[in-house]
């Protein structure tokens, strides 16, 4: 579905991403891991049209994604930022209906279709009971779910997330990640940048390992989240273990050694 070919990008004249290629298929959960400043976020910014790449190709179902205008791009790519507080007490309904921005006309009339789609997004994340609540007063995890619902209301092909769980507590991280995993099982594609290899192990179908603006490994979490790769990109000691949970499920974890 999404094909990124030899993407080179950066800020002003400085190249940060040196020729990165990967694909995201429909319903696939792709994670990018790498140390701070290796260019993970830069890749996302290019996909979202926030900065222009120096070179390379980005196609979505064969269509050039780099020449799309803002409105068109927003119908295909939705961005889920880290939950943060806007200056005004919008309600959850106010926030989620904003996801219809790339579809409303000049007069900003909200059609019944827009409302239904936004409501389905709320319901998909089981937060329709929060609709009348004030967004700024919700917990971080709930705010994050609202932002995911807003992104779903954009009816995108791909959800793009930049460390969505960075400011969430343990339980809320789990809540958000399991919801994201559920969405990919329903056919949504996700591209997520994460700091935590465990998150990639928990939910990714494919992991891109980045170092200094280049991909050094691409594959399933089991293939590429290895002791060697993690120690190389994070420059630290790591222990990888396969463990069996209380429910009898086998999972892999990465443990940092202090």
Partner 1 sequence: MSAKVRKEGTSLESVSQDTGELLDEVRIETDDVRSKANAVFGSKVPLWLKIAIPIALIAIFVVSFSVGRFPISPGELVKTLSNGIAHHVGALFGNDIPIADERMYTVVFKIRLPRVLVVILTGAALAVSGASYQGMFKNPLVSPDLLGASAGASVGACLGLLLNMPTIVIQLWAFVGGLTAVGMAVWLNKFVKYDATLGLVLGGILVSTLFQSGMSLIKFMADGDDKLPSITFWLMGSFSSINSRDFWLILLPMAVGFALLLLECWKLNVLSFGDEEARSMGINTARTRLIVIFASTLLTSVTVAVAGIVGWIGLVIPHLARALVGPNYRVLLPTSMFVGSGFLLIVDDIARLLTTVEIPIGILTAILGVPFFVFIFKRNMKGWS
**Structural contact between residues 86 and 136, judged by C-beta atoms closer than 8 angstroms:** yes
Torsion, Cα of 177, 189, 58, 35 (10° steps): 20
Q: One symbol per residue from 40 to 79: x for binding partner 1 (CB under 8 A), - otherwise; what is it? A: --------xxx------------------xxxxxxx-xxx
Residue 167 in contact with partner 1, rule: CB under 8 A: no
The one among 107, 244, 257, 258 contacting partner 1 by CB under 8 A: 107
Angle, alpha carbons 84-111-147 (nearest 5°): 15
57 close to 4: Cβ distance less than 8 angstroms: yes
Q: What share of the chain is helix, strand, coil (3-state, %, to 5)?
A: 35, 30, 35
Q: Under the criterion CB under 8 A, does residue 91 sit at the interface with partner 1? A: yes
Cβ atoms 92, 132 nearer than 8 A? yes
> Residue 77 or 234: which CB sits closer to partner 1?
77
Smallest distance from partner 1 to CB 45, Å? 8
Helix (H, G, I), strand (E, B) or coil at 222: helix
Q: Is 99 in the site for partner 1 (CB under 8 A)?
A: yes
**Smallest gap from residue 32 Cβ to partner 1 (A):** 17
Q: Which residues contact partner 1 by CB under 8 A?
A: 48-50, 69-75, 77-79, 81, 84-91, 93-94, 97-99, 101-102, 104, 106-108, 110, 112, 114-116, 118-120, 122-123, 126, 128-129, 131-132, 134, 136-137, 154, 160
């Amino acid at each position: 579905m999404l094909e990124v070919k030899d993407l080179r990008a950066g800020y002003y004249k400085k190249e940060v991403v040196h020729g990165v290629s990967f694909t995201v298929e429909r319903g696939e959960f792709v994670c990018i891991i790498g140390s701070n400043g290796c260019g993970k976020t830069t890749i996302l910014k290019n996909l979202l049209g926030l900065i222009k790449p120096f070179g390379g190709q980005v196609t979505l179902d064969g269509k050039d994604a780099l020449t799309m205008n803002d409105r068109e791009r927003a119908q295909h790519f939705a961005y889920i930022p880290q939950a943060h507080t806007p200056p005004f007490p919008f309600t959850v309904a106010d926030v989620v209906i904003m996801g219809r921005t790339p579809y409303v006309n000049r007069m900003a009339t909200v059609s019944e279709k827009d409302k239904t789609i936004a409501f389905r997004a709320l319901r998909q994340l089981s937060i329709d009971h929060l609709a009348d609540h004030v967004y700024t007063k919700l917990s971080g995890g709930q705010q994050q779910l609202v932002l995911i619902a807003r992104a779903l209301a954009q009816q995108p092909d791909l959800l793009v997330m930049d460390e969505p769980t960075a400011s969430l507590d343990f339980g809320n991280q789990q809540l958000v990640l399991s919801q994201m995993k559920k969405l990919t099982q329903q056919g949504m594609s996700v591209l997520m940048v994460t700091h935590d290899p465990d998150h990639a192990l928990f939910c990714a179908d494919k992991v891109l390992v980045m170092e200094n603006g280049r991909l050094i490994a691409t594959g399933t979490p089991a293939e590429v989240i290895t002791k060697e790769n993690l120690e190389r990109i994070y420059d630290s000691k790591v222990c990888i273990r396969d463990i069996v949970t209380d429910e009898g499920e086998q999972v892999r974890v990465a443990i940092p050694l202090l």
